[in-house]
Amino acid sequence: MDAISLIVRSIFVDNMIFAYFLGMCSFLAVSKNVKTALGLGVAVTFVLVLTLPINYMLENYVLKAGALQWLGKEYAEVDLSVFSLLIFIAVIASFVQLVEMVIERFSPSLYSSLGIFLPLIAVNCAILGGSLFMQQREFANVGMAAAYGFGSGIGWLLAIVGMAAIREKLEYSHVPKPLKGLGITFIITALMAIGFMSFSGINI
């Protein structure tokens, strides 16, 4: 039950894009049509679901103060949390590389449609942000971390697909010249974010 409410919360209330503005760069760059937006959204969700549990295990069994206790008494004092940033980003970058190679080997068609986005995911703030928030919130177990990753990924997917749909319709509207392209996209994002804030009062 906890996991479900966590998922719903991270999709709507703590939406990665509209509440924290994470992963905005690719959100703005790749939201021109629905199809590619969907592809990137799925890839981000996939990487989030897989890297969050891995980083959770690393955080709790290697990095946190006293986390190395299972190695023996003399390690109980060791605090490696200074390195958390380095470890997290290394896990994410190597994982993205791994996913890229696996997809290339087993599904060339998916690879060619996702190809360019895969390396981009390594520097998507939403992924590293997920790991850093996970570190702050101290989830109870690996399952909760995975649920959080899944919810955040779906929230991101929802946002980018919605944005792409609006931008496709925008072709037909009359926008002031200096606002065309980037400017109007920012304004739409702001309005969507205000809309999503109506979820923030909901207590699940």
Interface with another protein (CB under 8 A): 18-25, 28-29, 82-83, 85-86, 89-90, 93-94, 97, 119, 122-125, 127-129, 132-133, 136, 167, 170-171, 173, 175-187, 189-191, 193-194, 197
- What is the nearest approach in angstroms of another protein to the Cβ of residue 125? 4
CB-nearer residue toward another protein: 128 or 147: 128
Compute the distance between CA of residue 92 and CA of residue 16 in angstroms, rounded to an integer: 17
Q: Are 118 and 43 in contact (CB under 8 A)?
A: yes
CB-nearer residue toward another protein: 71 or 175: 175
- What is the nearest approach in angstroms of another protein to the Cβ of residue 202? 17
Apex CA 163: angle with CA 162 and CA 166, to 5°?
90
CB-nearer residue toward another protein: 9 or 167: 167
CB-nearer residue toward another protein: 75 or 186: 186
- What is the nearest approach in angstroms of another protein to the Cβ of residue 128? 5
